[in-house]
Structure 1
Amino acid sequence: MKTSIRFSYLYLGLCLIVSVLGYLITPDQSRYCNTQVLENSFLNPGTKKCFLNSNNSTSRTIEDIVFGKEDFTKLILDLGGTSNCKLYILGTDRYGRDLLSRLIIGMRYTLIISLLSVLFACFIGIIAGSFAGYYGGRTDKIISFFVGIFWALPTILLAFVILMSFGRNITSLCVAIGLTLWADIARLVRGQVIAFKENNFVSSAIVLGFSDMRIILSQIFPNIAGPILIQFSGNFALAVLLESGLSFLGMGLQAPVPTLGNILQDQYTQAFNGQILQSSIPAIVLVLLILSFQLLASEYRDKLDVKLINR
């Protein structure tokens, strides 16, 4: 296995584990990691700060572990607290929020949105492509017409229209991104179905009286799963890029919900103040995530493409 592929698996595995653990490992365990200390804004990575720690303690519930604790101010009756020192491993943003915590939860939201978007695109694309390729004729022309329309529409502009019409929430964002990706999947599935539907095993299934849906699901689909997997990996990288781009342009999830895109938007101005490292951290995390998915898509293509294997 190539070193780059090993790195991709390792990095994606780390991102997945970190996203699943979420608030269990974040230094800031408030909801959306939104504890703001304006005096600590733009701290450099590795900075240590000490605060007054209350002796009062509260137990954590399942809701706190999944969604984080509610961010509220509590009156401390016992002032005999102790010093609690925090280490900001990756520094803080302009509101004094812990950047590492924001990146961990932001990674979770980015991966969830990207996954749901690609699944939505695959659902539409596989159904549309299967019908167009299997039935042909007028059905093929109608579906191909809609594919052409979505190809002609600018990706970002289409997403902007959907988000401005239905609001900036996870559902709208997934639909907006999914509608920009389904046409490629439909075209791929259509071509694969056309290639396989003339084979003898499909003709035999028709003679045996199998229904069209059964033929598509049991006879054709298993043979085209490889190309779909390749397209899925490539589209996942594109979905991450689109989500981050929309968030960077201010059309992603509303604050204070963190995603890699809006974290990058908050931090990139640091580069103009001479803090190159601090502003580059979200960009590096995002670039490595997209690159890892692209490398996996390339690896799957090399392993599953019959034409490349026979060379």
Structure 2
Amino acid sequence: MKDQESKSLLKLSIHRLRRNPIAMAGFTMILIYLMVAIAGPFIRLDKTPKANDQYLELSIKRPGFKVLFFQVANEVSEQSLWSQWLYGREKTSQSFPIYRYELLTDSILVERYTGDDVNNGELLVYAYNDLVSSNQLELHPSNLREQIKKELISNTTFWLGTDRYGRDVLSRLMAGTWVSFTVGAISILISLIIGIVVGAIAGYYRGRVDDLLVWLINVVWSIPTLLLVIAIALALGKGFWQVFVAVGLTMWVEVARVVRGQVISLREKEFIEAGKALGYTHSRIIKKHVLPNVIGPVIVISAANFASAILVEAGLSFLGLGAQPPQATWGKMISEHKGYVITGDAYLAILPGVAIFFLVFAFVLLGNGLRDALDTKA
């Protein structure tokens, strides 16, 4: 009977959430970000690890910039799909931007792109036979020139332009999505484990245990979040994984406060007293009867904490304490191009800021929707 009631309440909450267009808009936006993060290097223009393929001659090119690329050599990659998804595809081809090319009888003439208004790049000549062997191509002599043109010359479009290192801005933004989601998910998991355990113990046992844990919660709560994160990050060292721990160790306080308050209101209920009368252990009562009734508020606060984790990670990266270069993070992208805000290339710093804004805003909208949907008094 209790399971049926729980299922009916869950269905009712999902129905309420679906009827909330604002919350569903936030949920849809999060799904779009998540799909970009999961697809990773398979859909980016720059599929290399950390989207760090640099061409200094393409530095600071405007959105929609197009250029020809010429592939000199290509090696067969033995990288697994899992490794490609997790780290990106190792660069196996040797290519560079060109300004123009000319197909000769038995060779191709290319002029390197310099990035200047008047291109005066180096002229290079490559024999067809050398290109075929270095790229491991199986080409037919009858249409050799056309196949060389099709296989080794590509017209590349940088839809959001390039940064000061000649990297594709769109690819860097997409790579930063994976970092933000990973930091948010793992830091929230850490905060939930610590916060639920501390809050449940404090609220259920009360007395000196509660006094001690509340003192600890208040001490951590009194320290500004960003300062505490910076202190932990400096203690653990700069790095990608250190950010998870630093952010997670600062967000458990809110979870603990909410869980403690919910447990205090539940510990005197009849079903808890019945469990004690039946001889159930305290751990069983907490796991089976107390914690399932505090999941709703925890889910709501987790959505808000996810947004906060993204902001904190961006702040750490901006200050140089988060994931280190060449890792693509939105905060680091803003930091690298903050000097362009007063120039005509301000979009280099604005675009990652817009990406942060929409993702955080989406989690806020979803959190508000979850709060209303899980409200048992409604």
Shorter chain as denominator, the TM-score bin is over 0.9
Larger radius of gyration between Structure 1 and Structure 2: 2
Structure 1 residue 268 displacement after superposition = 3.1
Residues 35-94 of structure 1: per-residue CA shift (max 9 Å, x gap): 111111111111111121236352463223431133578599935763222111111111
Q: Is the 8 A contact 2:74 2:92 kept in 1?
A: no
- Residues in 2 aligned to 1:154 and 1:220: alpha-carbon distance in whole angstroms: 31
RMSD of aligned alpha carbons:
2.0
Q: Does 1:130 align with 2:148?
A: no
The answer for the alignment partner of 1:41 in structure 2 is 59
Match among 234, 254, 278 for residue 208 of structure 1: 278
* Matched letter for residue 268 of structure 2: E
Unaligned runs of 5+ in 1: none
* Matched letter for residue 38 of structure 1: L
If the length of structure 2 is used for normalisation, what is the TM-score? 0.77
Q: Is the 8 A contact 1:34 1:71 kept in 2?
A: no
Structure 1 residues 167-178: aligned runs within 5 Å: 167-178=237-248
- Residues in 2 aligned to 1:276 and 1:74: alpha-carbon distance in whole angstroms: 32
The answer for the alignment partner of 2:9 in structure 1 is none
The answer for the alignment partner of 1:280 in structure 2 is 350
- Residues in 2 aligned to 1:5 and 1:97: alpha-carbon distance in whole angstroms: 35
Unaligned runs of 5+ in 2: 1-18, 96-125, 133-147
The answer for the alignment partner of 2:327 in structure 1 is 257
Q: Does 1:199 align with 2:256?
A: no
Instruction: Tell which deviates more after alignment, 132-141 or 51-60.
Output: 51-60
Structure 1 residues 39-188: aligned runs within 5 Å: 39-54=57-72, 56-59=74-77, 61-62=79-80, 63-71=83-91, 78-79=130-131, 82-188=152-258
SS at match of 1:273: coil
Question: For the structure 1 residues 53 and 24, does the alpha-carbon distance in structure 2 shift closer, same or farther, using more than 3 Å as the test?
Answer: same
Structure 1 residue 2 displacement after superposition = 4.1
SS at match of 1:282: helix
Structure 1 residue 158 displacement after superposition = 1.4
Number of residue pairs matched by the alignment: 308
Instruction: Tell which deviates more after alignment, 88-97 or 152-161.
Output: 152-161
Q: Is the 8 A contact 1:44 1:278 kept in 2?
A: no
Structure number with the higher strand fraction is 2
Determine what percentage of the aligned residue pairs are the same residue: 35
Instruction: Tell which deviates more after alignment, 110-119 or 81-90.
Output: 81-90
The answer for the alignment partner of 2:366 in structure 1 is 296
* Matched letter for residue 69 of structure 1: R
Q: Is the 8 A contact 2:160 2:169 kept in 1?
A: yes
Structure 1 residue 278 displacement after superposition = 3.9
Structure 1 residue 4 displacement after superposition = 2.7
- Residues in 1 aligned to 2:189 and 2:315: alpha-carbon distance in whole angstroms: 20
Q: Is the 8 A contact 1:45 1:278 kept in 2?
A: no
If the length of structure 1 is used for normalisation, what is the TM-score? 0.93
* Matched letter for residue 118 of structure 1: I
Match among 316, 340, 360 for residue 270 of structure 1: 340
